[in-house]
Structure 1
């Protein structure tokens, strides 16, 4: 097996400014540049886990800028101002309907705001400031983060805070490895924030062991602080979302079908969808109101894949097509066994093993033969290098099956259900019973109002 080539280094002069060991996500693409410039991806860039020391080691200077969603400058500064009230963090993003509207209700002016005294920029962006803002904060050492955060913001924590940062960190490790503090007021703004270890975040983006964080980043989010390894890992995460969705879709489909399938991946098996804690129209609402951002996020990646394309390529030659949300362009994919086998092989490793397991159960493969097959499908070779992921005999056998979408869906359910269920139960401890009940009631009420 050939070793993968190292990433090409590019000079510091071509890179955006780094500030105080935090890389601000400032270089946002405009719709004109994003729609007219297809990124070129170096061969093998996604085949080995990222191990970068800084942004100069990215495959090229614009690599991953599709992840940087546009907002106005004042709103972005307000969000960063909130994060500056916390101990140092390495990577952070804001997400949800408080950042990007998910329905006509959240996009229109509201009379009641949960924010006691928010910055004017948040009121303007939310057209009345009617939504709590959700954050994910990633730290290299979350126990240390909790230790510092407890000193400054003891009121953010439930009774668990009185047990110290060690107990908080141990609870965080349960489920998907995420610790939430909801209904917290910072800079006059009502927020909910999640704390996660960088290693947990990167692993989920690359392997899909829980999809709890990877699924949030399948959708448009506002990245506020950056880290180069996470940028690369998330680019792989987005490609994985496309590939997995293609295994669920027919030969031809529309943009909205693709983006709805991508959005729905991490909701498969989520107990909140089953038991009415989420709006049943949540997926279509997100896609319908964020079509332009989905295009900015995924278009270059779509163009980089050899097995899919737009049916009408002339439609995307117009530089303004991304802004036309009335369009719902058709796409097509190659359904050949070879192409689909390669997609199966390129699924994130933890998730791919679950797909393999479903077929092992179906075919009753002897244990020794199955273990040999798993060993042969590992990403690492015997010398410690990384193999080019090309579909093997088992992948081709899977790809030829008509029930592949069913098996992929089962693997999604198996991936998502348990971590999501544990996180929901854990919320009683991390938020405290009163705030956890309030959050559940508001989710149910919102689902009734918008369904």
Structure 2
């Protein structure tokens, strides 16, 4: 049962500081991470109930105002939107525009702001739209935009919403749709599915898209909090995969690559094999905006060159690739294992259950004890237990974490890709697949 609170419950400041081995860095660009934020689980009714007035503003990546307005005009054609963002290479470039091979725009008659932002070449713009009630959304949307749907639309909103929620990652895609003179692809997801994936990493299909810079166009306070946890979880997971020292680009490439592990599009040549490197290289400043405060909030990771990050303009230096280091001790790494999203953490636990040969009943008792610790006082336990520390001391931890990522991503992504043929229709689905494969081959040549 969800209890709606007027204000978040706050522990005394000194008591909270004792729960953590460090405080948020005074060099942080804004104090958006008060020490109690990650352990609070209120259901918020408005943005005034956020842990801090600037909480989560790192998620609000800037574009120019005209482009943002053009994207919002597109979304106003759709009903019942709770949360929405635009993402992908049509929004944030993944290559040098001066060397682009695009010779024509897919947009029939786009606003000038979109042409200017995409520098004339033009790419289809991708959206994720979250709604409280999927069937209600599709009922209204079918009456307005029946041509957006494949033959499935003929069966009505109940069938469409069932296909959306019951198979794959819970998304329903309509590609190659023209709205306001602009070619777009949009996915409809339920609010609960989005919130759950951000919080638990059930599939990483939606959470993984938000690991990268996106343009948030419609906001919701509970999603902002859940996504802040999602971003911090991405950093923790990446740290478990990385060596003691690494660079910014290695960190952001590891974060970006999480949702591509096990994705059939990568395995079968439907994605550019250099996609991850392109995303990070051309969006390094936005990655810094997205993750810098989160990095500074963790006690076990630091920049090697502290002087550089004190410069007010350091984020704008896109040629620079700063080094970072992390504490590889069993205790801090055990804490990170303990703080992984619930569904994903249990996959890591199960892998080590098999490795250690722990009997099923003993293992279930351990998991139940862990759940009890989560529920105490409404707070998560801030430190890892004996099992977490044992896992953290294993040399194969990076391989096991990578395997858990693969298990999380592979099946939902595979089913979602197959489902896309139905939701897009055979012709548009095949067209989309062929275009993806052609782009992948072009980048390899």
Q: TM-score, normalised by structure 1?
A: 0.91
Cα distance, 1:363 vs structure 2:
1.2
Written as runs of structure 1 = structure 2, the 5 A alignment for 1:42-81 is 42-81=34-73
Whole-Å Cα distance in 1 between the matches of residues 183 and 86 of structure 2? 13
Match of 2:311 among 300, 308, 318: 318
Task: Answer whether contact 1:143 1:168 (CA < 8 A) is retained.
Answer: yes
1:275-294 correspondence runs (5 A)? 275-294=268-287
1:219-368 matched pairs, under 5 angstroms? 219-368=212-361
**Does 2:163 align with 1:171?**
yes
Structure 2 matches for 1:2-41, cutoff 5 A? 6-7=8-9, 37-41=29-33
- The number of aligned residues is 422
C-alpha distance in structure 1 between counterparts of 2:221 and 2:256, whole Å: 24
Shift in alpha-carbon separation, 1:384–1:40, aligned structure 2, 3 A: closer
Q: Kindly indicate whether residue 104 of structure 2 is the aligned counterpart of residue 102 of structure 1.
A: no
Aligned equivalents of 1:407 and 1:162: distance in 2? 45
User: How far off is 1:129 after superposition?
Assistant: 4.4
Provide closer, same or farther for how the CA distance between residues 380 and 182 of structure 1 changes in structure 2, counting only shifts above 3 A: farther
Deviation at 1:382, TM superposition (A): 6.2
Equivalent residue, structure 2, for 1:197: 190
1:388 is aligned to: 381
Q: Could you say which residue in structure 1 is the equivalent of 2:16?
A: none
From 125, 128, 133, give the equivalent of 2:120.
Answer: 128
Q: 1:130 Cα shift? A: 1.6
Distance 1:123 1:374 in 2: 53
Report the Cα distance in structure 1 between the residues aligned to 2:370 and 2:178, rounded to whole angstroms: 48
Contact 1:379 1:389 in 2 (8 A): no
Where 2:206 maps in the other structure, the secondary structure is coil
Contact map agreement 2:172 2:189 (CA 8 A) in 1: yes
d(CA) in 1 for partners of 2:28, 2:439: 39
> Are the aligned partners of 2:32 and 2:56 in contact in 1 as well (CA < 8 Å)?
no
Q: CA deviation at 1:377?
A: 1.7
Contact 2:32 2:57 in 1 (8 A): no
Aligned partner (choices 165, 173, 197) of residue 180 of structure 1: 173
C-alpha distance in structure 2 between counterparts of 1:78 and 1:317, whole Å: 36
Q: Secondary structure at the match of 1:214?
A: helix
Give 3-state SS (helix, strand or coil) of 2:138's partner: helix
- TM-superposed deviation, 1:36: 6.3
Does structure 1 conserve the Cα–Cα contact (< 8 Å) formed by 2:115 and 2:121? yes
TM-score by length of 2: 0.92
Contact 1:254 1:328 in 2 (8 A): yes
What is the CA distance between 1:204 and its match in structure 2? 0.2
Distance (whole Å) between structure 2 residues aligned to residue 379 and residue 287 of structure 1 = 39
Q: Determine helix, strand or coil for the equivalent of 1:377.
A: helix
Which of the residues 149, 154, 159 maps onto 1:157?
A: 149
CA contact (8 A) 1:277 1:444 kept: yes
Structure 1 residues 222, 40: closer, same or farther in 2, change over 3 A? closer
Deviations 1:154-184 (A, max 9, x none): 0000000000000001100111100000000
Distance, in Å, in 2 between the alignment partners of 1:252 and 1:305 is 15
Q: Give the CA RMSD over aligned residues.
A: 1.7
CA contact (8 A) 1:180 1:427 kept: yes
Residue of 343, 363, 370 corresponding to 1:377: 370
Distance 2:212 2:98 in 1: 17
Q: Which runs of 5+ in 1 are unaligned?
A: 9-34
In 2, the alpha carbon distance for the partners of 1:345 and 1:144 equals 38
Shift of residue 317, structure 1, vs aligned partner? 1.1
